[in-house]
A = this chain, B = another copy of it.
Amino acid sequence: MQRRSTQHLSAADVEAGYALACQTTVEGDLVVSIPPQEKIERRLKESKRATKVELPFQYDIHDQPLRKYTITLEPPSMQDQSDDWSRLRRELERRYNLEGLRIQLAVLKKLGRILREGEWTVTVAVELDAWDRPDGPPCVIDIMPGERLESLWAAAIDIGTTSNHVWLVDLISGEVMAQKADYNGQIARGEDVISRIIYASKGRRDGETEKQKIEDAPILDLQSLGKGESGLEELQRLVMETLNRLIEEAAQERGISTDEIYKAVVAGNSTMIHLFAGIPPDTIRLMPFVTTINELPPLRAHAVGLNINSVGRVDCLPGVASYVGADITAGVVSSGMCKTGSLSLFVDIGTNGEMALGDCTWLISCACSAGPAFEGAGVVHGMRATAGAIEEVWIDPKSLEASYRVIGDGKPRGFCGSGLISLLAEMFVAGVIDKSGNVDLALPTERVREGEHGAEYVVVWADESAIDKDIAITAVDIDNLMRAKAAIYAGFSILARSVGLSLADVEQVLIGGAFGQYINVENAIQIGLLPDKPFESFQFLGNTSVKGAYLALLSRDMRERVKKVGEMMTYLELSADNTFFDEFSAAMFLPHTDESLFPSVTTKEERQ
List residues of A whose CB falls within 8 A of some B CB. Answer: 76-78, 81-86, 100, 102-105, 108-109, 111-113, 116, 132, 277-280, 282-283, 287-294, 296-297, 299, 303-304, 321-322, 571, 573, 576
Contact = CB atoms under 8 A, between A and B. Distances in A.
A282 B112 contact: yes
Contacts of A105: 277-279, 296-297, 299, 303-304
Contact of A292 (B112, B278, B292): B112
A96 B322 CA distance: 28
B108 A296 contact: yes
B109 A289 contact: no
Contacts of A294: 83, 85-86
Given A78-B287, A81-B571, A109-B278, 17 more contacts: A81-B288, A81-B322, A83-B290, A83-B291, A83-B292, A84-B292, A85-B293, A85-B294, A100-B132, A102-B132, A103-B297, A105-B279, A105-B304, A108-B296, A109-B279, A112-B279, A112-B280
A294 B111 CA distance: 13
A36 to B, nearest CB: 51
Indicate how many identical chains form the complex: 2
Contact of A283 (B78, B112, B282, B289): B112
B292 A78 contact: no
B132 A290 contact: no
Most chain B beta carbons < 10 A, residue from A78, A84, A288, A293? A293
A76 B108 CA distance: 44
Contacts of A292: 83-85, 108, 111-112
A257 to B, nearest CB: 12
A293 B102 CA distance: 12
A150 to B, nearest CB: 21
A293 B82 CA distance: 9
A287 to B, nearest CB: 7
Contacts of A576: 78
A280 B109 contact: yes
Contact of A78 (B85, B86, B288, B293): B288
A103 B573 CA distance: 27
Contacts of A103: 293, 297
B82 A290 contact: yes
A55 B112 CA distance: 40
A84 B297 contact: no
A291 B573 contact: no
Given A105-B277, A112-B280, A81 B132 contact: no
20 contacts: A76-B290, A77-B288, A78-B289, A78-B576, A81-B288, A82-B290, A83-B293, A84-B283, A84-B293, A85-B294, A86-B293, A86-B294, A100-B132, A102-B132, A105-B278, A105-B296, A105-B297, A105-B299, A111-B279, A113-B280
